Amino acid sequence: MLKTIKIHEFIKISKDLPIIDVRTPAEFSDGHITGALNIPIFSNEERAVVGTKYKQESRDTAIAKALEYIAEKTDHYLDELHKLVPSQEICIYCWRGGFRSEGMGHLFQTAGKKIYRLVGGYKAYRNYVLDSFNTEYKLIVIGGMTGSGKTEILGEIGKTNKQMLDLEGIANHKGSAFGALGQADQPTTQQFENDLATQLTKFDPQKNIWLEDESRMIGRVKIPDDLFSQIRTATVIKVEVSKKNRISRLIKDYANFDKEDLINSITNISRRLGGLNTKLAIEAIEAEDYYIATDIILDYYDKTYTYGLEKREGQTVISLKLESNNAEINAEKVIEFVKRN
């Protein structure tokens, strides 16, 4: 059976079923429905050939070439399906819900599968994703200077069954010049938006969602404007931790990385850090004096964070001093603080 369904029904059904994206590998890499598997009906090169024929010759010659490619690879498609999808029911989509998903859907149907095909394809999904950021959320934003342990605190808050949105985890980046160290490659901004929307749809928007204060950009990916404006109007709980504790935490997190990687990260902010401070920080890294290097770099980050916070108009910032470096204890204090305020 092949059933064509609209985006909201597709989202509901696909939570429990495998999703097959039949677009090219390049299209899939740019962005895909979170969790989807790629069984491309055409390679990147084949799609380019079909497209060229459509533009320069005619629709009929383009279709003829497409059918030629498909005929040559029918067994391959079915082998991939058997290898990747044990389920008898499948969700499937292409770019606009047209030729590619319809053709592959019929083929997979002959293999005994029940197919749900997305009306409007990936384009409809992207509209759904972007619309989702218009939802009004109840955000609790945890702020604080670099090294305050915000990520660890949020992680502990998440363990208490509260709704916790890990923007840096979804972005594969810790949000600073050193944020890419130890992380997997970042997704595209488009894929970041898809994964972010998937997480948000799991939450109840009527309940608090805890997240970290972030800049608009997290590494190379951008927080969607509608969500970012909500973050910038939500009350910020600014955790205040001693510089000594912050330095200790950052040394624990970063001193194990290769010196060359650390020095490259320092070089990336050299214009903002200043020539002398850059030189001193690099010399400290080379000498394995991570305390001095961190102290120098934190001066820059602290000034930047303080200046940025002061420039935000109309945003309420409430400070909470934390003496401990224990994330579990600090999370409990933050939760109690929010309850009282």
H-helix or E-strand spanning residue 320: strand 317-321
Report the alpha-carbon distance of residue 27 to residue 122 in Å, rounded: 10
Reported as type and span, the H/E element at residue 212 is strand 208-212
CA 295, CA 244: separation in Å to the nearest integer? 9
Give CA–CA dist 166/302, Å, rounded.
Answer: 22
Whether 118 contacts 124, CB under 8 Å:
yes
Residue of 33, 36, 94, 154 marked active site = 94
What is the Cα–Cα distance from 240 to 321, expressed in whole angstroms?
5
Q: Comparing C-alpha atoms, which of 249, 268, 257, 253 is closest to residue 325? A: 249
- State the residue for tokens 């819900």: 97
Q: Angle 259-268/290-310 helices, nearest 10 degrees?
A: 30
Instruction: Kindly give the pairing relationship between strand 89-93 and strand 19-21.
Output: parallel
Convert 40-57 into a string of H (helix), E (strand) and C (coil): CCCCHHHHHHHHHHHHHC
Residue type, 156: E
- Cβ neighbours around 318 below 10 Å, total: 12
For residue 335, give the nearest of 138, 144, 165, 158 by alpha carbon: 158
Q: What tokens were used for 318?
A: 């409430």
Assess whether 91 carries a catalytic annotation: no
Active-site positions?
A: 94
